[in-house]
Amino acid sequence: MTQPILMPALSPTMTKGSLAKWLVAPGDQINAGDIIAEVETDKVTIELEAAHSGYVNELKFAEGDSDIAVDAVLATLSETPPTGHSSAPEKAAPPLEKTEPTVAISAQITESETISLPAQTVVTDSNLDISPLARRMANIAQLDIAKVKGSGAKGRIVKRDIEKAMGVDDKASAAAQPAAAPIAIDTSLLPAHQEQKLSAMRSVIAERLTASSRDIPHFYMTVDCRLDALLATRKMLNEQLDDVKITVNDMLVKAVAVAFARVPKANVLWGGDKLLQFTQSDIAIAVAIDEGLITPIIHNATNLGLAALATKSKQLVELARNGKLQPEQFQGGTFTISNLGMYGIKEFTSIINPPHNGILSVGAGEKRPVVDDEGNLGVATVMSLTLAMDHRAVDGATGAELLKCIKQIIEQPYQLML
Alpha-carbon distance 22 to 2, whole Å? Answer: 19
Is 287:322 a contact under the CB 8 Å cutoff? Answer: no
Query: What's the CA angle centered on 202, arms 198 and 208, to 5 degrees?
Result: 130
- Cβ partners under 8 Å of residue 362, min gap 6: 249, 252, 337, 338, 339, 340, 341, 383, 385
CA torsion, ordered 58, 115, 318, 12, to nearest 10 deg: 80
d(CA 18, CA 291): 16
Q: How far apart are alpha carbons 108 and 87 in whole angstroms?
A: 38
**Whether the Cβ atoms of residue 227 and residue 382 lie closer than 8 Å to each other:** yes
Question: Whole-angstrom Cα distance, residue 301 to residue 251?
Answer: 11
Q: In 3-state terms, what secondary structure has residue 264?
A: helix
Q: Which residues are catalytic?
A: 391
Closest CA to 318 of 110, 115, 47, 114: 110
C-alpha angle 402/405/411, rounded to 5°? 145
Residue spans of alpha helices (H) in 154-194: 159-166, 170-176
Residue 2: φ, ψ to 5°: -115, 155
* DSSP β-ladder status, 35-40 and 45-49: antiparallel
Instruction: Name the residue among 362, 359, 212 with its Cα closest to residue 295.
Output: 359
**Distance separating alpha carbons of residues 221 and 46, to the nearest angstrom:** 42
